[in-house]
Structure 1
Amino acid sequence: MSYQFITNATLPTRHGEFDIHVFENKDGQEHVMLTLGLPVVDSDVISTEDGKQASSQCAIPLVRIHSECLTGDAFGSLKCDCGPQLNAAMQAIQDNGCGAILYLRQEGRGIGLTNKIRAYALQDQGHDTLDANLMLGLPADARIYDMCGPMLAHVGVKEVRLITNNPDKVAYLMDHGINVVERVPLVVGVNDMNADYLATKRDRMGHLLDKEIYTAAHLNK
């Protein structure tokens, strides 16, 4: 599948100024990349198989792959840590002076907003996030990352310091020609409302999270 660069502009934010780039796949789905200190090296259609590469202004940029979360990113939901993760990553990149946020439009781990809210209703009944998806006949995680290579190629990035707790993201980039020289943990937004959610990510989905921090009892100490 190919992804086409559409347009870009500057984007002032509370964390500082970024360049915002919009990409679109052949089905019309849009994805966004925020960058700092990374020049555009190619504005043509880029294939996931033969994306062009070039050197960037910084040796190894700080990069966050962030899947869209309307409830967390926009509404400040306490059910997850997505909003705090996005804001912390944006600030970390500003502090670093160079990097990118790959904002992928795959709500609810790829199941869409409506199914995500249906899963929320099951979670309200006591089911964890993984079982809620499975009870709806949906995959535990339907996200894909095939757009990451072309987006990074657009700004000439071949090596990254990846901000993530998810080893699957590291493995995907490494398998597709992007060298992850460092995994940068991101532990923010922990609260009593999402402690079980984070524990599920740790215990059932393989996320690299501390064994002690994600309990309500610990948070209340």
Structure 2
Amino acid sequence: MVKGLAAAAAILMTAMAVGTMTAPLAHAAPAGDGASPRTATPDEQSSFFDWYNATHQQTTSLLRPQFTVKKEGGRKGKRLVTAIVDGPAVRAVLPLCRQPRTLFDLDPRAPKAARWTERTPAQTLVWIEHQRQCGAQPDTPILLHAPLAEMDMLMLLQQHPTVLGNARLLMAGNSACAPSRSRGYRLTGLDRAKDGLPVLVFENDIAGEARVSVRRSRNELQPWAVVCAPPR
């Protein structure tokens, strides 16, 4: 009896093992494509270095350029390649730093000597740095859209969180701004309004824009007007 049960158990285990070995394997879930952000091709980058070295021979060094690629008018539009070159950062009024930025656009159909075109005027980036030297550029430098006095730039950078908080009250009464008044915003630029007032340029978390002009009251900046634009 015992031998019979042992034999039956052995047969059952063998059958289970065979069934396991012959059962179809489940397909693994597809992995993410892990695609990296679009950038210039190696040939396009090499083309820029060749052109830059040939046309900027008086430049002692070339900082590591960044390349951006966009599609004009959507995914099927013309491919637009831009090279971004940042110059050395310099100390302005303490603790303000400023840095020149130049953009170059690629025309792949142009002759080799004229394939890249420098945009004018050059841009300027600003940020606050409390160390003795300006050092490395921060992750989110601020773009200077119009000339401003250095002390004005410093006050705008230092007080922009307070100005933004107070400006949300103005947004509530503006039909273009009200829907996005509670969204998160970050400072992206400094500008000057048509009436001459300094402007803080903010971008929200859905790529919408808010431009807040300010007036100075003693040592404090107060929001004066706000203009909002929908996501680009």
Q: Structure 1 length as normaliser, TM-score?
A: 0.29
Which has more strand, going by share of residues? 2
Which has more helix, going by share of residues? 1
Bigger relative CO (Cα 8 Å, ≥ 6 apart): 1
